[in-house]
Amino acid sequence: MILRTYAEPDREAVIALWHAAGLTRPWNDPGRDIDRATSTWPELFVVAAAEEVVGTAMAGYDGHRGWVYYLAVEPGRQGEGIGRALLAEAESRLTALGCPKVMLMVRRGNEGAHGFYGGLGYSEDEVATFGKRLIPD
Ligand SMILES: CC(C)(COP(=O)(O)OP(=O)(O)OC[C@H]1O[C@@H](n2cnc3c(N)ncnc32)[C@H](O)[C@@H]1OP(=O)(O)O)[C@@H](O)C(=O)NCCC(=O)NCCS
């Protein structure tokens, strides 16, 4: 298994993985999310791959904070350390850009993710996140 930057032939497998990992929502078009990520910070979109893509981490840096999205591991490969490795790679790439802090959002109800992030040094911030859609997908 290697960690490498997303490449266009990965697209179909990545979207299938996001569906399988339960990360897709009707209001986010995963193909458009990939287009936007690859046109802004292509090197911050990391995949874990053996013969097939088995995990993803899509990060971005806004000049103040780094953000990680779409951290996902193929359901049959969870618990092998792939998620930890992907997050560490995203952190390392953000750090290399001078990013001082990394953030991420966890959907309500995804309690499993709390244990995962908590064990990797992440703590819950005392903030509510507000969002407003600018472009409907
Ligand atoms: C969350 C996710 C990315 C973790 O990836 P993973 O490859 O299964 O996790 P790892 O094997 O790297 O686990 C790293 C550590 O976190 C722990 N961990 C993993 N899942 C956990 C959970 N649900 N609760 C508590 N700890 C957990 C592991 O035990 C391991 O700790 P250890 O080394 O001390 O044993 C994966 O479960 C996943 O894709 N979930 C569905 C999508 C999702 O919810 N993504 C997060 C969106 S915010």
Asked whether residue 125 is domain-assigned, the answer is no
pTM for this model (two decimals): 0.97
- The domain containing residue 76 runs over which residues? 2-119
The residue whose CB lies within 8 Å of the most ligand 1 atoms, and thus the one to mutate among 33, 68, 69, 116, is 116
Residue 57 lies in a domain: yes
pLDDT at position 79, please? 97
**For 44-70, how does the pLDDT look when each residue is reduced to its tens digit (9 = 90+)?**
999 999 999 999 999 999 999 999 999
Q: Which pair of tokens denotes residue 18?
A: 């996001």
Domain-located, residue 74? yes
Q: How many domains is the chain partitioned into structurally?
A: 1
Q: Answer whether residue 19 is part of any domain.
A: yes
Statement: residue 137 has pLDDT above 90? no
The answer to whether position 129 is within a domain reads no
Nearest to 5 by CA among 41, 32, 51, 36: 41
CATH number of the domain where residue 17 is located: 3.40.630.30
Residue 9, domain member (yes or no):
yes
Pocket of ligand 1 (CB under 6 A): 21-23, 71-73, 78-84, 104, 106, 110, 112-113, 115-116, 119
